[in-house]
């Protein structure tokens, strides 16, 4: 464990908590892409199947269970408890255009052709693009609530910190995972536009909007 991984995990956890609190306190999921949240739930489910086969540490197990539990809780709030506030008209990204190619890529390019390894690889690839429905939704509506932008910022920060984590591990542990690194770079690049708008608008008290 190094400082970049720890702060990355905490940033990821903060993003999840911010989103849940936003929905619960406002009693509304307006502006939140349910499709992105379903994709994240799928990411955590397929990535952490090793919970059934191995134990690494209490921290590792706890974080995995929190991610899975919170992702399904978010999906429940959006599609069940506060379904009346869900904006399905703007959440229109075709997720099959992400899931199908990612699934095919995971079968073709992986570290080991076994069910658990393919599913883990699938989760890595899918996470890199799972935020696209949310960004697409913001682009269609033209703006996002400040609390939603904080969620997105923490999510992007988590991924950026993990890039530094991999650099650290390469130099100090000799660890190198091309699949995780390439997917992480792709995901970070997707947030670049958002980071710029967050700094130039949200931090100055303005509403964030993405170019259509």
How many Å apart are CA 188 and CA 163, to the nearest integer?
A: 9
Could you tell me how far CA 33 lies from the centroid of its own chain? 12
What percent of the chain stands above pLDDT 90? 66
How many Å apart are CA 15 and CA 11, to the nearest integer?
A: 6
What secondary structure letter does DSSP report for 168?
H
Q: Model confidence over 125-174: pLDDT tens digits? A: 999 999 999 988 988 887 778 778 889 889 989 988 998 999 999 999 98
How many Å apart are CA 53 and CA 35, to the nearest integer?
A: 29
Give the list of residues 6+ apart from residue 45 with CB closer than 8 angstroms, or none: 68, 123
> What tokens does 49 get?
């199947």
DSSP string, 131-151: THHHHHHHHHHS-B-HHHHHH
Reported pTM? 0.91
Q: Model confidence over 75-133: pLDDT tens digits? A: 999 999 999 999 999 999 999 999 999 999 999 999 999 999 999 999 999 999 999 99
Calculate the average pLDDT of the chain: 90
């Amino acid at each position: 464990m190094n400082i970049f991984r720890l702060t990355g995990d905490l940033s990821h956890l903060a993003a999840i908590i911010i989103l849940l609190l936003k929905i619960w306190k406002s009693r509304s999921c307006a502006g939140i892409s349910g499709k992105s949240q379903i994709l994240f739930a799928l990411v955590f489910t397929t990535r952490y199947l090793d919970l059934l086969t191995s134990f690494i540490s209490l921290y590792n197990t706890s974080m995995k269970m929190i991610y899975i539990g919170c992702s399904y809780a978010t999906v429940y709030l959006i599609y069940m408890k506060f379904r009346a506030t869900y904006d399905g008209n703007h959440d229109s990204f075709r997720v099959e255009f992400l899931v199908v190619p990612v699934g095919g890529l995971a079968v073709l390019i992986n570290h080991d052709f076994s069910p658990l390894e393919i599913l883990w690889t699938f989760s890595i690839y899918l996470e890199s693009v799972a935020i696209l429905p949310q960004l697409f939704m913001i682009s269609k509506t033209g703006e996002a609530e400040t609390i939603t932008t904080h969620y997105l910022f923490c999510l992007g920060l988590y991924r950026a910190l993990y890039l530094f984590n991999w650099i650290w591990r390469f130099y100090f542990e000799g660890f190198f995972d091309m699949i995780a690194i390439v997917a992480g770079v792709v995901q970070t690049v997707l947030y670049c536009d958002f980071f710029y708008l967050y700094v130039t608008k949200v931090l100055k008290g303005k509403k964030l909007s993405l170019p259509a």
